[in-house]
Amino acid sequence: MMLTALSSLTKVFYDEKPLDTGFNSFSMLKNERRSFQVAFLCSAADSISFSIDSELKDCISAYLIKYIPSKLAAYSNHDDYYLRNGESGLYPDLLCPVSENTEFSAAEGWNSIWFEIKPNEKVKAAEYKINVTVKVGEKTEAAEISVSISDKLLPEQELKYTNWFHSDCLATYYGVEVFSERHWEIIESYVKTAVEHGLNLLLTPVFTPPLDTAPEGERPTVQLVDVYRKGYKYTFDFTKLKRWIEMADRNNVKYFEISHLFTQWGANHAPKIMGYFKGKYVRLFGWETKSESQGYRSFLRQFGEAFKKFVGENNLKDRIFLHVSDEPGMKDFVSYRRAARLIQEIFPDYRTFDALSDFEFYKKGLVKTPVPAVNHIEPFVGKVENLWAYYCCGQNRDYVPNRFFAMPSQRNEVLGFLLYKYGCEGFLQWGYNFWYSQFSIREINPYTESDAGGAFPSGDAYVVYPAPDGTPYVSLRLKVFYDGFQDMRLLKLLERKIGRNEVIKVLEKDLAAPLSFTEYPRSDEWLLKKREEIIRML
């Protein structure tokens, strides 16, 4: 048997001994969550158990990291900052909770147990030892980690962050009726976990989101607003939306991202909108509805008046963000302009934002808050009032941060430093739990098909897995991603002490070039040491 302690940035593969041995200490703030790993070698027949000896024992959660298959780990034009050259295979990703002194099994070869420390209010600032003993078969070995906990506290997260929440995928996977009591229970469980990992802006399906849907196709109806049509007049029931907001409030959601009011990739059509007409529940609008349709424009005006009244009655105005259409290109400029101007007319003093990467849309005043991809952000820097960023499958090269299976974890966590450097107000990613194939054509099993039917590199479409009880299992990528947000807050805390300009000097000390989304040290050691340096300065 062999055993070694590792940082949270290492990905352990079953067929390869970890190279970055020697990790044995780190620092953290009292209200941070930080993780480390203990890797071990075993056979498929071995029973495994572990024990923890530490004053911090009650603050530590443990997970066995499981391997998930990837057929499409990277597009063919990827850069060289990938693990295993982006080849298909098994990648460590799923975190399955395991308990101390309870036997479990693992894949043959190298495996790892992930330990997350979450200090409670009783923990004093001090240095602690954590001794982890792992028993594999009849053999036992131990590793020791030293953790220094500071009495400093991270400030509250200021960054607005949405990771698109797919309510329909939850209903489909668990086989429950949309907005049944069981569906609401599952939704709340997944929202709770999302918020625990930094989400504070929740995609809210006022109407079924027209996202990743094949033309003429449709996703299961998840519509929070009931619509009633009589002639060309519409009335609206916001009962389910009210319940959604109350659920979100219980879980500390701060903002609501209203689903897109026009179809994706150009705003050419209306989203699917269901309603009651002549005693039947029917589709009122959809792919057959052109975005310039006077009937749909009239509907939106009527909806807008009712929605604004609801928002006012519930004191939600400062918590609402609106979308027009996702990822329009210049070929869609005319249709997007028409749709955007209508939304501006109906909601003149509401915040609107859309993922788009051509500066012309902002220059022409069509979107108040553009959200460019991280590899297209430079034309927006210093020119927009509130800078946001996003990434998805297309951000696969030029070393920009992302969180695919095949990318090193450092490429995931470094996002926090970069969002701070660029002064970003918000960040968007599209796949919290997208468990369909591309264009939502069919359901997929995220445990066996991680690339949305061969369309997106594994890791792009989701960061949680469906546990049998209706709660999520998290991924190591989600944990590392949240570490990046903690890093960003750490820099905000240092800024209070020395000022923003000095913080950036600390980040860029001894670098050959200023930090950017394409230029940063591609090194676990640099990131870990930079964290230690910042905590010492505090």
User: Secondary structure of 7-37 in the HEC alphabet?
Assistant: ECCCCCCCCCCCCCCCCCEEEEECCCCEEEE
Q: With H, G, I as helix, E, B as strand and everything else as coil, classify residue 122.
A: coil
What does the pLDDT average to over 351-368?
96
- Beta bridge mates, 63: 97, 114
As a whole number of angstroms, the longest Cα–Cα distance in the chain is: 77
pLDDT band of 313, cuts 50, 70, 90: very high
Mean pLDDT value across residues 376-403: 97
At 98 the pLDDT is 98
- Beta-carbon neighbour count of residue 38 at 10 Å? 24
Q: What angle do CA 191, 196, 199 make, to 5 degrees?
A: 65
User: How far apart are the C-alpha atoms of 232 and 210, rounded to whole Å?
Assistant: 23
Judge contact between 340 and 350, C-beta under 8 A: no
Domain boundaries, the chain: 3-155, 160-225+238-266+294-492
pTM greater than 0.95: yes
Q: What is the CATH number of domain 160-225+238-266+294-492?
A: 3.20.20
* Bigger pLDDT: 122 vs 229: 229
Contact present, 418 and 401 (Cβ < 8 Å): yes
Cβ neighbors of 37 (< 8 A, separation 6 or more) are 5, 6, 7, 8, 10, 12, 65, 112, 113, 114, 115
Note the pLDDT of residue 240: 98
Q: Which residues contact 226 (CB under 8 A, 6 or more apart)?
A: 236, 237, 239, 240, 275, 276
Find out whether 266 and 324 touch, Cβ atoms under 8 Å. no
Q: Tell me the C-alpha distance between 322 and 352, whole Å.
A: 5
Q: Evaluate whether 3-155 and 160-225+238-266+294-492 have a shared fold.
A: no
**Does pLDDT of 440 surpass 90?**
yes
What is the pLDDT at residue 1? 73
Distance, CA of 325 to CA of 345 (rounded, Å)? 16
pLDDT at 334: 97
Q: What is the pLDDT of residue 159?
A: 98
From the list 163, 339, 335, 303, the residue with the least C-alpha distance to 223 is: 303
Q: What is the pLDDT of residues 196-247, one digit of tens each?
A: 999 999 999 999 999 999 999 999 999 999 999 999 999 999 999 999 999 9
Domain 3-155, CATH = 2.60.40.10
CA–CA dist 436, 26 (Å, integer): 39
Which residues, other chains included, contact 99 with Cβ-Cβ below 8 Å and sequence gap of 6+?
A: 62
Give the per-residue pLDDT at 21: 72
Quick one: DSSP state of residue 72? Answer: -
Task: Report the C-alpha gap between 390 and 476 in whole angstroms.
Answer: 20
pLDDT tier for residue 19 given thresholds of 50, 70 and 90: confident
> pLDDT at position 145, please?
97
Q: What is the mean pLDDT of residues 91-109?
A: 97
pLDDT band, very low/low/confident/very high, at 460 (cuts 50, 70, 90): very high
Torsion of CA 35, 36, 37, 38, to 10 degrees: -130
- Taking only the tens place, the pLDDT of each residue in 479-494 is 999 999 999 999 999 9
443 falls in which pLDDT band (50, 70, 90)?
very high
| Residue percentage of the chain with pLDDT more than 70 | 100
Q: State the average pLDDT for the chain.
A: 97
Confidence of residue 121 (pLDDT cuts 50, 70, 90): confident
Tell me the average pLDDT across 280-308: 98
Contact 289, 353 (CB under 8 A): no
Whether the per-residue pLDDT at 20 is higher than 80: the answer is no
